[in-house]
Amino acid sequence: YDMDAFADDVAAFMDALALERAILVGHSLGSSVALATGARHPRRIAGLALLGAFANYSDNELVRDLAGEVATLRDPVDPQFVRAFQLSTLAN
């Protein structure tokens, strides 16, 4: 579960849909995935739309903490972790 794997998953999804190029739209973490996809597969990306993106994760303590937790995840991901994460990121 790292950005390179997420980016490669996007490229594989595009392959499955027979999409040679696409404009990617990413929100929050999805912005990072879209950027990583553009960096790893630049010929596949026609453009990017990034919403709620971070310029730099290194100065965001919450993101650093989450990255530390995510780095320890293994298949299958604990459903309690998924639920707690989703509940912690809901907006009213």
Q: What are the tens digits of pLDDT across the range 68-92?
A: 888 899 999 999 989 988 888 776 6
Query: E strands along 38-80, which residues?
Result: 45-51
Give me the residues of the chain with pLDDT under 70, please: 57, 91-92
Q: Is 8 exposed, middle or buried (0-12, 13-18, 19+ CB in 10 A)?
A: middle
The per-residue pLDDT for 54 is: 77
pTM: 0.68
The per-residue pLDDT for 1 is: 72
The per-residue pLDDT for 51 is: 93
CA atoms lying within 13 Å on the CB side of residue 73: 17
The per-residue pLDDT for 92 is: 60
